[in-house]
Amino acid sequence: MTSTKPGIIRRLFGAMWALITWIRTALANIIFIVIALIIFFAFSSQHVAQMPADTALRLNISGLLVDQYSYTAPLTQIMAQSSPEQAETRVRDVVEVLKRARDDKRINSVVLELQHLRGGGLSKLQEIGTAIEAFKSSGKPVLAISDNYTQDQYYLASHADEIHLNPMGAVLVTGYSSYRYYYKDILDKLSLNYHVFRAGTYKDAVEPYLQNEMSEASREHNSLWLNDLWQTYTEQVEVARNLKAGTLNDYINNIDQHLAQAGGDTASLALRLGLVDDINSNTNLRNRMIKRYGEKEGQYRALNHLDYLAFTNAEQPKYEHNIGLLTASGMILDGEQPEGTIGSSTLSTLIRDARADKSIKALVLRIDSGGGSAFASEVIRQELQATRDQGIPVIVSMGSVAASGGYWIAMASDEVWATPTTITGSIGVFSAFPTFEKSLTKLGIHTDGLGTTDLAGSLRLDRELSPLAANVLQQGVTHVYRKFLNIVAEARKTTPERVDTMAQGRVWTGKAAQQLGLVDQLGSLDDAIAASAQYANLNNYGVKEIRKALTPQEQFAQELARGLNGGVSLASADSAWLIQLKTLFKPLLGSTDFSKAELDPKRIQILCLECAAH
């Protein structure tokens, strides 16, 4: 074949067209930026120019409580302005705001607006509750207002001096539970073979594919941590509200009798039992709040907590020495991942960045994860160990969940902190995937061919799994479990045999885990930060958050979104049931490419599915 060089006229017109395309694209981008800047400054001009004095702090805690905001695409950040409530609220922001406001004379009180809080786990609620109690020590009042109070909302409200409820509202406390769908019958009807390989008697993540009901082993260990959480919840709420021990259990278990005595009026029942302090219609409450705090744009005068955080950030001192703070939140996956998910490459890069920062003298890793890929967990653990080898102390702070893979990465630390209600442990391993050969046969589809070895084509999803492949997969899972036991044993200064007696996939609360020697201390993130300062011999230090750098486009979109929404940072969040479905199926289904066989160690999971909802 031969090629001829385009003529000069063709090349000239091509160059002209390329120039026109470039100019058109550049103009479109400039117009977009100009319009965006006009919108941004128009909204920004409405903001208060300076920190107001003698004002209430409005804690509008909404969405899910998280340790790290989930990544939201720039365009979504700009367009998702239909609701003023956040999809997520970062716990550290709330705790830091309360800490600063405690001694700030410009703040006279705190108002908890809890109506849009969706939950986030007892551990996160406890950290905010502790911060509320610390704020109250200043003598400033805390009020809680909502039309209704769900279980999580009521926990925070119980720490307030006054709880206000709508006349049509209720305190909706029910207790903790763990229910899942089980699929064995439908898998049988569809002729699907689900192949499961696991190490750990209590590693029940795969049970829904093997049977139609919870096993006795699963029922045993889940009841322990669920009852532990509920006992903690009821004791702390009853103490905060000066209620008689057993009040909440009596309220729930005899709710029908209590309601009959109250004529079916849930609000008056809550008031009679001392669960709330006052009942007010929205109009009456608004008028009372305006009378108490002053009026601004038809509402009571108050400063949003994120605005207060922005005001006071500029007032914080600069330090020569810092504690580095990293957050590992979400499922652990291989490679690069956005915030809200833990990517082995992404987090490893951030750990290396912390090591390279000469101002960082110790590193605190906040873990809020039920695990994921064993391979990715080990990559992260090795990077943390390299940090310790360089002489930089590493302290782990466990959030609501640090189980399975989350516990694996915690083992590369000088000290492990958990809250009393952290869900941890789940030291066990599994791998699972379906094959469809029987389903396809019923449809009249058959697979045939040949391979050069006994393993060639043995993991196709349209073929029966061979005994050789099954044996190899089980040995891989068993090997990873033994490695898990050895890592824990070395970190906790014990033997693999002793770890095995506590492992087998069991889930523990932080309190129980400390008694077993699986964690060192009980306390909050701030406690872990203080401990890291002691390891580094620091008395005067700052906290430096280490985050994945945003691109210029992402930074611009984020600032524009904040401007459009009154300074509130937006983050996306799926509904709770959708999150559970994604968590359940993502690690189990694996590749659906029928043509590829995978004996890949990256398929082996150290994941705690029952931890996801707590």
Catalytic residues: 203, 404
Q: Count Cβ atoms below 10 Å from residue 292 Cβ, excluding itself.
A: 15
Give the pairing of strands 55-60 and 322-329. Answer: unpaired
Q: Is 391 left (phi over 0), alpha (psi -120 to 50) or beta?
A: left
**CA distances for 10 relative to 16, 259, 370, angstroms:** 10, 86, 61
State how far the Cα of 601 lies from the Cα of 476, in Å rounded to an integer. Answer: 7
**CA distances for 378 relative to 333, 375, 608, angstroms:** 11, 5, 17
Side-chain-facing half-sphere of 293: CA atoms under 13 Å: 29
State how far the Cα of 337 lies from the Cα of 327, in Å rounded to an integer. Answer: 13
- End-to-end, the C-alpha distance of the chain in Å comes to 66
**CA distances for 445 relative to 439, 463, 591, angstroms:** 9, 11, 20
Q: Count Cβ atoms below 10 Å from residue 205 Cβ, excluding itself.
A: 31
State how far the Cα of 385 lies from the Cα of 351, in Å rounded to an integer. Answer: 10
Which amino acid type is present at position 197? F
Q: Count Cβ atoms below 10 Å from residue 388 Cβ, excluding itself.
A: 14
Supply φ then ψ for residue 64, to 5 degrees.
Answer: -95, 140
Tokens 């707590």 -> residue:
614
